[in-house]
Amino acid sequence: MQIEMGMVGAIIVRPAGSGHMMSTAYESMDSMYDHEYLFLTTEIDPIVHQQVEVGDIDAVDMAKWFPVYWFINGRCAPDTMDAPNIAWLPTQPYNCMPMMHPGDRLLGRYIQAGRDPHPFHTHGNNFTVIARDGRLLKSQGGMGADLAYSNFTLFVPPGGTSDFIFEWTGKALGWDIYGHAPGDPMEPHEYAPDHGKPFPVALPPQQFLTNGAMWSGSPFLGTMGSLPPGEGGLNPNSGYSYMWHSHNEKEMTNYDIFPGGLMTMLMIEPPSAPIQH
């Protein structure tokens, strides 16, 4: 019942002697990171909450428990992507909107605090799991996380945790993500074999497009293209967005309304853009 009522939380134990913005998650150099994000997942059955709210505890039957809301850090999508500490969500202060630059190392701390497993899927690239349940994945006598492994869906049992490192450079996409000419200087961490390669398709005319709120109007990172009046606006730095979500697809809804639930977006920001934490 305590878990259902949201009486859960996260405690991050850092290596001795580290400050708040330390560079490693564990006492190992392969746990170095540039940005750190928490993913604390839970779920609720609102019927149980309605029964508890009116004090009808005897009516609560956890054998009939059926969750219809799924959360990251106490919020359902799309609220996961809004700013932290916003006035209209006074009891849900934490967001989950991971951001990084190409070439950065993003540390994800995933805590499955609810009763159900939620296979967590990252678009954009694989991640490397470096730790489980607060312990670095290393062999006896091994150096660093020598048992770390790559995957694109994270499986964590209820009550378990995993830490992973995610990296992205646009490697092998087949075009220059910055729209460079062949003689232009390269950006930091740019994938050299694709430098100067043109975008491989012609975009359809604007009248045949439905523009998403994060579409910058251009396929190139950091470049703003033309958009119809009233379109866009949620991607001021013209970054790339990749959905990160539960692969139990029903969990991407709020009481059967899509989109919602256990979902957020990773934003790949251009090198010149500051990362907001």
**In this structure, are residues 156 and 120 in contact, taking their beta carbons and an 8 Å threshold?**
yes
- Total Cβ atoms within 10 A of residue 61: 10
- Residue 192 inside a domain? The answer is no
Place of tokens 């505890």: 57
- pLDDT on residue 20: 52
- pLDDT on residue 143: 85
- pLDDT on residue 210: 86
- pLDDT on residue 171: 95
- The residues of the chain scoring below 50 in pLDDT are none
- Residue 176 inside a domain? The answer is no
- pLDDT on residue 246: 98
- Residue 257 inside a domain? The answer is yes
- Residue 273 inside a domain? The answer is no
- Residue 139 inside a domain? The answer is yes
Q: pTM of the full predicted structure?
A: 0.93
- pLDDT on residue 48: 95
The domain total for the chain is: 1
> Can you say whether the dihedral through the CA atoms of 199, 174, 127, 277 is positive or negative?
negative
β-pair partners for 100:
268
Beta strands in the chain (DSSP E): 35-44, 69-72, 99-100, 105-112, 120-122, 127-132, 135-136, 149-151, 153-154, 161-167, 240-246, 263-268
- pLDDT on residue 18: 62
Cis preceding linkage at 102, omega within 30: no
- pLDDT on residue 188: 92
- pLDDT on residue 265: 97
Residue 87 belongs to a domain with what CATH number? 2.60.40.420
The contacts of residue 97 (CB under 8 Å, 6+ apart) are 80, 81, 82, 264, 265, 267
- Residue 129 inside a domain? The answer is yes
- Residue 207 inside a domain? The answer is no
The contacts of residue 95 (CB under 8 Å, 6+ apart) are 73, 75, 79, 80, 81, 82, 83, 84
Tell me which residue range forms the domain holding 140.
Answer: 29-169+243-268
- Residue 231 inside a domain? The answer is no
